[in-house]
Structure 1
Amino acid sequence: MKICKQLALLVLCTAGINASASANLAFTGTLVEPPLCTINNGNTLTIDFKDVGVNKVDGINYRLPMNYTITCAGSTLPWEMVLTVKGTASSFESAAVQSSVTDLGIKLLQNGQPFQLNTPIVINPATPPALEAVPVKRPGSTLKSGGFSAAATLMAEYQ
């Protein structure tokens, strides 16, 4: 019986000892850059509104499509693409590029909705959104006849 008690005591004393194992970890990988993309083969996309009636600028009249293409080098990775229009917004419409005329802007639309300047949107490069441009004026302003221009940068980038 004394031997049983000693054996039981020995078992209890060794119960706190755990068996353990260890292994070394190794991490590897390859850093890759997203593929390069171009819009309109690097050419300027020009939208010519031609003659615009000063009393007909209402954000609806003179709406024109912005026909563009996005071409990217091939990649098998699931990159996320964003489209951004970078430019100076007019003080009266955040989706309009300020023009050379103080109270006139060029509002941009993507799939019929305002395309906020300097705000990227996620797109599918295989089916990019339809973009449109339309002249808008500051509410209550009177436009004077004369030429106008506006400029912005359309950017397609992988994230």
Structure 2
Amino acid sequence: MDERMKTERIRWFLCSVFSVFPLIVSAGALPQAAAGSRGVPGITYITIRGNVIAPPPCVINNGNTVLVDFGEVMSTRIDGVRYRQPVNYSAECSKMPTNAMTLAITGNAAGFDSDALRTEISGLGVRLLYQGRQLALGEKVAFTYPAFPVLEAVPVRDVSAVLTGGDFAATATLELDYQ
């Protein structure tokens, strides 16, 4: 048998063996019979193990909506500075693989400011602040649990718009994730 034929035969043999003995993927220990040698030279089993980590088991604000109440605001005094209010929230996390986490706020942006939350009053939005600076919607803030970032909210307006009076609200999602 020439060298080319031997190579083709070995290649066919290996393909046949791998189609009969597939790669074993396990989240636990292999049975003793599978872990032992089957007496086929040049073939061994590969054990691949892992641990799937689910999203952090955190309860934010005891499962309740976080409420920021601006009270009454004068349309002519909305400037992105006045009427600033704290965003008071809490979170309890357990069985964390790490204390390194991120926080992000997402929501629908106001038409005049992509980093302000939209309200039902045209030309009025709510901007979120972290450490006194504007927090972009979707921006991730890194922190170490349990020292949560301190957030604030402030109403902002489109300076070219005439605001109508009435109640307003903005809705956002607070997301926690671990690193």
- TM normalised by structure 2 equals 0.68
Aligned residue pair count:
138
Residue segments in structure 2 that go unaligned for 5+ positions in a row: 1-43
- 1:81 is aligned to 101
Q: Which residue number in structure 2 is paired with residue 67 of structure 1?
A: 88
Larger radius of gyration: 1
Residue 40 of structure 2 aligns with which residue?
A: none
Whether 1:108 aligns to 2:132 is no
RMSD: 2.2
Secondary structure of 2:62 counterpart: helix
**Unmatched segments (≥5 aa) in structure 1:** 1-22
- What's the counterpart of residue 13 of structure 1? none
Distance 1:32 1:102 in 2: 43
CA distance in 2, matches of 1:29, 1:145: 57
Q: TM-score, normalised by structure 1?
A: 0.76
The residue type equivalent to 1:101 in the other structure is I
Question: Could you tell me how far apart the structure 2 residues matched to 1:100 and 1:51 are?
Answer: 16
Other-structure match for 1:31: 52
RCO (CA 8 Å, sep 6+): is it higher in 1 or 2?
Answer: 1
SS at match of 1:46: coil
Which range moved further: 139-148 or 108-117? 139-148
Percent of residue pairs bearing the same amino acid type: 37
Q: Which has the higher helix share?
A: 2
Equivalent position amino acid for 1:86 in 2: T
CA distance in 1, matches of 2:56, 2:71: 37
